[in-house]
Amino acid sequence: MSRFCIDSSVLGTKRHFISDDGFRWSDSVPRDTWHMTGTPKDSPVARCLDTLFALIGHAPAQVPKKYITAMNCLVTGSHEALQWQHILPAEAFQEYFKNIVQDTSSIFPNLPVAYYDAAWTAGSRVLAALKPAKIDLVRWQELSSDQSQNQQAIESFKPGRTGYARGAEYDRFGTRTGRMTTPSGPQILTLKKSNKNMIKSAFTDGIICTLDFRALEARIVLSEAGKSSDSEDMYAEMARDLFDGKVERDTVKTAVISELYGISRGALAIRLQVPGDVLDKFISVVRSHFGILDLKSRLKAELKENGFIKNRFERPLRLEETQDNLLVNTYSQSSGVDIALLGFDTILQSLGPDGIRPLFVLHDAIILDVRGDRIADVQGCTSVSIPTYEHKFPLKYDQII
């Protein structure tokens, strides 16, 4: 991380501004330079300074709004080609230039480059590998005419002339934890499970299937307590080992999720329909097993000291200090986003592109279009190794159609 470049389109100058050992102007952007263009880029090869700023929630200095408003009245379309150096009054441009350079220079050494290299880029590779999904037109028309279905999501999968939906689009900054949203394109995140069968294989003998992390966020928190579970059904294992089989597996799952998501004791008591003293003993065992109080205490101290916490891979996460009930959830959910994308990146590289068409990421699951002779290879993906973890994370295979 030795130098950065502020693009000429951002500054409104003819040449790019480069900062390395000193400062200089350049007609081109040097390789391996952190490049500011004004818009975060999700390319797996980009050294995007805008993305680093977005990861810490920082907005670089801007051209004063009154000048932008004035130019909007005179120029339609993009402002990228505007030569602010010659448009702004000299003092105004010098002030803008000084602000953006000094601001960038002061923040640059503390940007989350390690996180970008370790986790963010892997996620970018996964998203760049996604292919448009082929759609069963007859099934899509049936769903579109059924007003009881989620029409907006279904409409977003409308096939074009070639029979394929638009490519998936994701926003990685749409939530505080980095959990992705779909601002446009196929609304896979809100599409009902029963409606996914309108997706069909592009191969004559192919299938649509998913690989899904099993109880991912719970396993993340368990790892923070120095423990792990190789069981496909961790909740059944806990019911057996912690409660001698006297507690139902689904009851254990409900209790664990309540601890991760901050469900109140009263709400949990109603849901489980157990007396208060029994509930307290039960929750105490769960908290102890996962080390939840220790993790919450650690994160609260980190938040107080730094004004933010970091997930497993050092992504900075900002939240209000008074929201300590969200600390464990924020940490586990954000770490889960990165673990899922790191895992999918490993899997896709291992499988290769022949006969494998990744279509969508659905939080901690990936939807694949698989040719017939590659199905066994995908079924063989039963677990995946993730950097910084000694144990593997188990995966579940499921066929959609």
SS3 letters across 132-143: CCEECHHHHHHH
Binned average pLDDT, 10 residues per bin, the chain of 401 residues = 88 94 92 93 90 94 86 66 86 94 94 96 97 97 87 95 96 94 96 95 98 97 96 95 92 90 81 81 92 94 93 93 82 98 98 98 97 98 97 97 84
Instruction: State both tokens at 167.
Output: 């490519």
Angstrom distances, CA of residue 239 to CA of 119, 249, 253, 282: 34, 6, 9, 11
In this predicted structure, what is the pLDDT of residue 77?
57
Architecture of domain 123-215+335-399: 2-Layer Sandwich (3.30)
Q: What is the pLDDT of residue 78?
A: 56
Backbone angles phi, psi at 161, to 5 degrees: -60, -30
Q: What pLDDT was estimated at residue 356?
A: 98
pLDDT of residue 322: 67
Burial class (CB in 10 A: 0-12, 13-18, 19+), 31: exposed
DSSP letter (8 states) at residue 48 = B
Task: Look at residue 146 in the predicted model and tell me its pLDDT.
Answer: 86
pLDDT at 149: 73
Q: So what's the pLDDT on residue 133?
A: 98
- Distance (Å, whole) CA 178 – CA 167: 21
In the chain, residues under CATH classification 3.30.70.370 are 123-215+335-399
